Structure formats: structure tokens, C-alpha cells
Structure 1
């Protein structure tokens, strides 16, 4: 027998993390209100609150699985609407260290599509849920609490041109992203400062849209030329909806792709493999290149706090913001919503410390270590390289080399970076035997 839905939850932020959270909350609460300063449902899909929305976004394989679980049939709808779809290791051309990985069927689906297109489809599904509504074009001013600051009871907002109003809630979930003010509000309430961890990467990326002849992709839906220590520049070229292709090129520590068309093309030409440049040579640009900068990885360690008010949780980029070139953000938000969903199954107002501990263990820790470790493989990036880190770099380099020849290694590696399998699968006897053979060549 299903649990009765009752009470109200308020989600701060209508991005993917907020939408996944609303879906999880809708199973427990009779009313879920998503608050955002943008016009979410209007014609302008490039939201002000998503300045990187113009650029390429990736929903990793595990994220796609969760999205389909939450919204059955959405994958077919996205594909029908023009999104590319295929096997993540068989229909994507992966180029790492200048070499193509072996094509192999991984049984993992990948979708290639723009962020606004994906967000609109997910948002429409969330709006169709019983009891879910959006409060658009509303500024989030502050949290409402009990007099002793022990419990959050709602949020104070201001609609466009209106007066302040309080949305009372049994639970508030902050999904406002990297600019979240929860850490500041907590200190104003007298709580300890949340520990923050930052790693400077100075990433910059530039995006341009094209019309690409069908033959140029040679049957693939995406060409991923990954930046590596030897050539710390990368780019991704994908088929997306609207019979378009999106090309996002990136570089670290100030070595950013130019926004001038010839300079952008020259940057792509300098990559470790010529594949994407060859596609662009026979393609027609649709717009001018647009740039975006991402200075640092940022993690807020809420799981280390010893005290936290009831009735408030944080999720998505508001907790941890990763190097976007690894495309982990939306999938980690989806994984976080599963943690939220699990805690809500027990109570309408989960214990925040236990929630944050599970969020760290089940959604963030492994991805954070993977991202920071990958960043440290670039000699120019500052940070301590312990013996463990150096051994991890050597091992991953060995895996990547073996994946250019051995199908089993290529499949296992694809499933790990898709966040479907644990990195432990790379240490199974079958994979280690394949690595040993590669190491003898």
C-alpha cells in the first residue's frame, strides 16, 4: 500500500537538480512548489539563471537511466523530437591521447541534445505530476525559521513587481546551484561555517553550432576528443535536435578557445586528433562562437557539519560543482535525488546530517575523486600528487591505452565513466589480464 501524500515541499531553483528533486518529492508531498527567478515555461529556453545553457551538456549513461525511470517514455520522446541516440561506446568516437578507443557494444544508451531541449522535456513531465507547480520570476529572499533557528519553516520570496510573501513548507530543498546562499544563511542563524574545498582549473570553453553533412560523422552521433596531459585541449562535436551539430572546445588555465571564428577553428585544428576539424571543414556555421569560463571545482562539505536545522536540505551544484568537461553535473544531481527519495520514504522531514552523509557517499565522493584526480593529471594544475594519485594516473593511462585495442577494457571503461559501474570493475581478473597483455606490447 502506497504512503499517503501530505504536506508541502518547496524547491529553490528550477534547474535539472530542482526538477529531479521535485520528482522525488512528489511521491511524498501533496504539494511541491518549484521557485525560480526565471521564466521557466516561456518561449525563451536559454534561461538567465543558466548562463552556460548555450553550451554542450552531457547526461551520462546513469543519468539517462534515472531520467527514464522517473519519466517512462521520455527517452523515446526526446529521440522522436530530434535528439541523437546510440550506444555510448559503439556510436560515439572516443579519442584519448590522440588515439581512438575500440568500438564495442556497451549496452548503455547515450543521448545527444541541447540542454534547453532536455530541460524543457523534463520540466513538462514534472509539471504534469499531481500537486507540482512552478512559481516563476520570483526572487528568493531568505529562509523562514522557528524562533530558535532549529527548524526551517518556509521561504520568503518576491514575485516580479510584487510584495514579499512567505511560502510555508514542511521541507525546503535548495537546488539553486553554485551560487547557493544556504551556507551564508546558516552562519546568520548561528551555525558553524560549512567547510569548502576548491581546486583551481581555470577552464574556459567556447561553443558554436553548425549544419553538418550526414556523411561527415561517418555513422557516429558524437566525436569526443578528450584533453590529456600531452595536449591539454579538447572538444566535442555532437549531432543534436533541429538537424544541427554543436561543437564545444575547451582548455584549462587560461588556454581558452577564441570567440573569433578563425581562431576557434584554429584551436580545434590544434587538438590531438584531426577528426573534429575535418568535420568543420565541410560544415556550415549557424552562429558566432560563444564563450564561458569555469574557474574552480567547488565542494561544500555539509556532511561534516555537526549541527543543521531541520526542514532544509541541499542538492546538486549547491553542494558540489565539478569540472564540466567531465559532464558529471546533471547525473550527480540525478543520483542525489535518489538519495533524497530514499530518505523521504522514511519521513517527510529527513535528518539532514544523515542525508548529507549518504549524499556524499552515494552520489558525490566517487565522482569528486574521479574529477579532481583527472584534473591533477595535467602537470599545470596545482595540487598535491600523492603516491596514490600518481599510481591512479598510471593505471588509468594503462586502461586508456588498452581500451584502444581490447573490447572488454573499452566496454568496462565506458561503463565506469558513465557512472553505471564502480571503478572496481577495472580490477577484475579479466580486465587485469587484458592490461597485462597491453603492457607487454
Structure 2
């Protein structure tokens, strides 16, 4: 397997700025330390970092160990006063993105981008998409794209620059219409939100008129991706299913899979990524799960330093056949603050439940509400593919009980599973909302 265009793009940037002849771990380190120092200098122009990093000199950061002594930036700090992170005048800001909080305070985060910040994102989309599409192919974007520099619009511009035709459809609210559009427009690839593409896969598999509809590739993005969904989408569309990891704070793009489909190749030219223990703040051992922390490079409007994303993941060894240098992140399993935690580090996450629930044949979607009284109850509401086919609730209970991780946990913690209702729609799966556990009380 040869190097991808994505890898070559990052290597060219690194070699141009370091003067090296070949990219290896040491050259990458030199590049990232240099970018970290630049980020510190730019960030100190803001009110927030000007105070937090008052006594930090960028030239004193000699290696990553020096850098890891700097304090973390929390989502709360960003929500409390977004403008205090601004490093430019508002007149230089081309786009402001508001991220609604999932917490109880209702405080939203606002992320600011200059035109150059957006250009970096478009370049990432351009070369990242070449991991799964070829020039001349037609790509349907199932994400918001009606406003300038929205994620769909930026992706379309990146695809256009890659020689592909990007067609913005928007989030899927009518699965029948979306499948018709794919068929009529002879689409080669779709990019969409995992659960919404899962809806398309289920409808395609159950409707004979879409039997011969195939794609050349699929990219799932904007939320963490259960393996069970990837398997169903692959089976339905008979093509490889790629996944992308990113968030608005990263400049939308964080990492993308290559054709090996074995973890995200991180955007190391624009982001430095760490994995920490969310409780102690210390770096975890290699291969261990922890919280993803990012530092952005080359950002003019709102650089972020050691920003705690709240996502749980781990690093994989850098032994992919397409590259041996850039970091690979394993698939995100869920959110740090949305797990049900037990003693001895055991927990239940939405990701664990997804891997079980999305394998159920007649299940289109579900939601879970957690009740905590004397014991914990998982209240499951199910949205079936076909309402005329009964859901085998007993079978689902048995799958939970036989799961090698959840089974023993259910027994030792006296967790009960209750099926509350069959539902017609689940709002959380529409638009750009993240999947999560609900109402733990």
C-alpha cells in the first residue's frame, strides 16, 4: 500500500517548514514543537491566554514534556467567555459557529474562524477526501451546507478542489427522497451522519426497488461511529465505509481513515493530540483509553492550547502500511462525562449500547433513559424498521446478558433493562446532535 495524497500533503508541509529531506518521527517532533511555540505566541494575544500563560515563554518549550506542564483549557472556560479567546479583531472573523451545550447550564460555545483558518479546513477536506474518492466522482453531502463556510459548504469546496463534484443535500429527514436522489444523480459516494446513513442502509435493504443501488464509498462523520453501523452500511451499499473524526474546535477536521480502515490518521500538521487520564490529567500509557486533548496550529482567530475535548479514545501504533510516522487514533467510544461509572473503573457508555442495539435486525433507532434509584434501570425505547414485525425483546435481553463485558456488569451491579415503548421518531438522531445517554438521575 503506497502513501496516500493526504499523507503526502502533510509531508510536503513539514518538509517545507523544517528544511528536512524525509519525514520521520524526529522531523515531525521538530515541526510540532515549532508550531506549538508559534501557537503560544499567537494565543497570548487573547485576554484568556494572556492571563493564563502570563509567565510562559514560548522559547522555553524545548520538548513535549515542557509543553505538558501547561494548564488544560476546558470547554467551560470556552463557554463562559468565548470572546476572551479571540486573538484578532472581530472584523477579521469570517465565520462564527455556535455549539449548543448538552449540559444543564444551557451555555453555548462560540468558535471563531478567520478566512485563513477556513482555508486550512478546506485543504484538509481536499486531501482527506482523496483517501476515499477519485477525481471525477460525484459526492453527495448529507450535512448542513446552505450557509457560506458551513461544514457542508467547506466540504464541497474541498471536493471541488480535489476534482470531484460535491452535491449538498443536507441532513436526511426523508430517507426515501435521499435514496431517490442518490439513484437519480448517479452518486459515487455519500458523506453523512452515522445514524442517518444507517437509516438509508436499512431502508435500502428492505425496499426491493433499491436492490441494485450501489456506492463506491461512504464516509461517516459528525458523531462517533459504532462498528455495528459501519457493518450494516457496508452490507447495504456493498462498498468500503470510511469514518472521520473531528469537531468544530479542531477546525472541523481531526483525522480520517485510509483504505486500511483501521483508525484515524490525525491531521498532525494542524493539530497536536494527546491522550490523558480524565481524572488525574496525566498522560496514559500507550494503547490505553483516555480523554482526547488537542492543541491547534496556525489558527489566527481562536487557537486552543491543551483543550479537553471530552471524547474517549486511544492511540494505535504507527504501523499502518501507508505511513509509519503520523499518529493514528482508534475509534472514539463516547464522552467522558456521559458514562455511567462504577467502582474499579468499570462503566457503561452509549457506544457499548450502540454496538448491541444496532445489530438488532428490525431496529432502526433507539433511545435510552437512565434511572438511578436503589438500582440502575436502562429504559429503552425502540424505533422499528417495520412496525408490522414484532420486536423480540427477550432476544435483546439475552444479548445484553451474554455480552462479555456488559453481562457480568449487569449481574454484579443489579442493572435491569426495561423496554418502555415503540416510537415513530427520535429527534436526537436528526440534524447534527450527538448521540448520548439521557436523563441519568
TM-score > 0.5 by shorter chain? no
- TM-score w.r.t. length of structure 2: 0.25
Q: Quick one: higher RCO (CA 8 Å, sep 6+), 1 or 2? A: 1
- Give the TM-score taking structure 1 as reference length: 0.25
